[in-house]
Structure formats: C-alpha cells, structure tokens
Amino acid sequence: MSGKHFNVHEVGCCIKYFIFGFNIIFWLLGVAFLSVALWAWSEKGVLSNISSITDLGGFDPVWLFLVVGGVMFVLGFAGCIGALRENSFLLKFFSVFLGIIFFLELTAGVLAFVFKDWIKDQLKFFINNNIRAYRDDIDLQNLIDFTQDYWECCGAFGPEDWNLNIYFNCTDTNLSREKCGVPFSCCTKDPAEDVINTQCGYDIRAKGENEQKTFIHTKGCVPQFEKWLQENLTVVAGIFIGIALLQIFGICLAQNLLSDIEAVRESCLFT
C-alpha cells in the first residue's frame, strides 16, 4: 500500500489534521469496543473453544461490540493514516467505505418505513428466539432483563411468550421451580424495596390476568418499543440525522484533502 507524500505545507494542513484528530477518536473507540468483546468472550471461554459460538440459540450481544468495533477500527485507521501520510488510497477507501455505510443506513431506513409490518414480525421472531435461549448465555440474559426492565414489558407481546422457554413453560413435564413464571425483570418495582426480589415472578402465570397485573408488566416489548419510538421520535430522528451529517462531513473532508493531494501531484508533474 503506497502513495505519494508531499510537503505538509503543500496541502490543506487544517483539513489534514482535523481528519486525523477526528478519526483517531473513532479508532480508539473501535479498539475499546473490540477489547470489551474479546474480554467478554474470554470470560465465557469462547476464545478457547471457538465452536461454542454456534451453541447459542439466540443472539450473542458480544457480536454487536465486535461488528461496531471492527468497523470503527478499520475506518478510524484508514482515516488517520490516510490523512497523516497523505495516502490517496487510504483516503479513497475511507471515503467510499463511509459512503457505503451511509447508503446502507439510508436504504435500511426507507425499507423499515415501507415494510414496517414485516419488521414488526421479525422483531417478534427475534425476541422469541432469544427468550428460548434466555438461560444459555449471561450476556443475552442481561440484555433481555435490561430491555424488559427499561420498557416495563414482558415477552414479545405478553408474559405468555415465556412458555417458549423450557424453564418457564407451564407444561406438566417441566420440573423447574420457575415453571409458569417469568424473569424478575418482568416484575413491577416496589419503591420500598432496596434489594431486587429475583423470585417475584415465580408461579405468576398460574394466576388470573387481573392478578398478574398487580405483580408484573403484562404489556409486550414490541408494542412498548413502538410506543417509546413514537414518544421519542424527535430525539431518535435527531440522532440519526446527526450521524448522517457527520458521515457526509467526513466524506466531504476526505474528498477535499484528496483534491489538494491530486492538485499538488499535477503541479509536480509540470515542474
């Protein structure tokens, strides 16, 4: 990987060092995300037994850290080195890669709006699939508990979705103490209690629906997410617009620096 390098005073110094500083932050964040992901996998023994990755029936949250960290690491590296070394190949790679990500985000947004019912069904399938694997992975368990606690929900569309889990279902063959129950994250909070009662959901689904409402949240996470999205639409839209503007700004800066490098290259050819 090579590129022509020119005297620092021959190209836009402000743009060059702004791109470098901007991307080194993202590169360091990418390193942090990857470090957290690798640490989590080492704690679960995945690094010593790679085949265990396929053992989970649900989503492993560590994958999110790996993907986000990997993308940030590659983009940050290309932007930093490309700007510092005035390497046209790395700057083009940075610009094109960022453009592809922006296009994919835009496409995903349009498709999510057009096929919102399909997205809703896929979200239900995703949550139910993870309910089945609730006890299989501590990270997944923590993610589900956080989601149910934050949105005050239980299951994809209601507490009965926990019948999908072998520990919580109400079948006669289930010998688990958690039979016909729900995780503690489904329980309504008692302000007077300082310590979380992890057994608050035991046998709760064996009771009537009206009685259940006293102890647990009976609304599903899918409708609660839709409600949250409607209530915070301005904030969510603002975040996505801000990210999009940052990406466009990064592409413009990279293209500007590339133009400076190409201009210097051409002037050198004629001297």
Query: Confidence class of residue 116 from pLDDT cuts 50, 70 and 90?
Result: confident
Q: Where are the alpha helices (DSSP H) in 115-232?
A: 116-132, 138-150, 209-215, 221-231
Res. 269: pLDDT tops 70: no
Q: Which CATH architecture has domain 117-227?
A: Orthogonal Bundle (1.10)
Res. 5: pLDDT tops 50: no
Query: Confidence class of residue 118 from pLDDT cuts 50, 70 and 90?
Result: confident
Q: How far apart are CA 192 and CA 194, in angstroms?
A: 6
Query: Confidence class of residue 178 from pLDDT cuts 50, 70 and 90?
Result: very high
| Displacement of CA 178 from its chain's centroid (Å) | 30
pLDDT digits (tens, 9 = 90+) for 136-148: 888 889 889 999 9
Which pTM was predicted? 0.73
Taking the domains of the chain in order of start, what are their residue ranges? 10-114+237-269, 117-227
pLDDT digits (tens, 9 = 90+) for 51-91: 555 555 567 778 888 899 999 999 999 999 988 888 889 99
Note the pLDDT of residue 6: 43
Q: How far apart are CA 191 and CA 51, in angstroms?
A: 44
